[in-house]
Structure 1
């Protein structure tokens, strides 16, 4: 069943491969243009992870 469903689109995409290449290039360029026009606040700021460790040492000074 899947063989008969998949054959016509695959045959058409192979026969019109230049149309597929041009379409994929257009989508790629459109995506790159969209990413470059995004506002900066869309991307989260980079900050390295920070860890706070609290221990108790009875009888010792804070230094």
Structure 2
């Protein structure tokens, strides 16, 4: 009986480890996607600011 319990406990621990690993992988992918979107956003925002600055100085002359 104790042996059966230990086997079930080990299986449960193995399943929990697998779930944890999957969640860890999903978190890493989400963080990568966030960083990529953030970089794109900063690049676009920087381009817009640069364009507006150059446009406004052009018309101020």
Q: Which of these two proteins has the greater Rg computed from alpha carbons?
A: 1
TM-score by length of 2: 0.41
Which has the larger helix fraction?
Answer: 2
